[in-house]
Amino acid sequence: MKFAVIVFPGSNCDIDMYHAIKDELGEEAEYVWHDTEDLSGYDGILLPGGFSYGDYLRSGSIARFSNVMKEVVKAAEEGKPVLGVCNGFQILLEAGLLPGAMLRNKELKFMCRTVGLVVENPDTMFTSAYSKNQVIQIPIAHGEGNYYCDDTVFNDLKANNQIVFTYEGLNPNGSLGNIAGITNAKGNVLGMMPHPERAVDALLGSADGLNLFQSIVKHWRDSNVITA
């Protein structure tokens, strides 16, 4: 499986994402610059964390107008897996690929630590290697991770099982419903604030994030089985 790691000016987790795919997962990965206008050669799209365009207006609000985002939208419409982590999640929200918005953390402070995540929905292309209610250890590193949406959207997210991850115990950022990660209605676009690419080896403190990437690959292989 071949992944595109989208790189915006200000991305700072692209190398982590590349390492997770290439060295830990053993799949193909390439850095793809933000002005690229063709993603047809990739099976999966990854939007890493960082501070795209310096976050000078609102996190992700400038990056969503990059040339490559037209292709990201196209890939999502084609059903390809699209994963946005941290700033990548914020970009997906700004692009309208996921519902809701991101606010400043409740305490108005940048947070960087490992948290427990509850797997709310293991029946997605991103979570099949986990079990229902499994608690995994994944790092967070953000100043604007306070997910918000109106009551109608929130009820839809719950009704459609689009809430994939929630924070265990104390909510670190004030996110509505303890939400840490959601998918689109079709289930092929996942946005999450915690960083699974930073939890792919026990040497990093946790390897719980590797299962997420393994789930994507399993889904892709199962979907591309050639039958006689």
Active site residues: 86, 195, 197
d(CA 216, CA 214): 5
C-alpha distances (whole Å) from 52 to each of 9, 10, 29, 166, 177 are 5, 4, 20, 25, 27
**CB of 120 closer than 8 Å to CB of 167:** no
DSSP 58-110: STTTTGGGSHHHHHHHHHHHTT--EEEETHHHHHHHHTTSSSSEEE--TTSS-
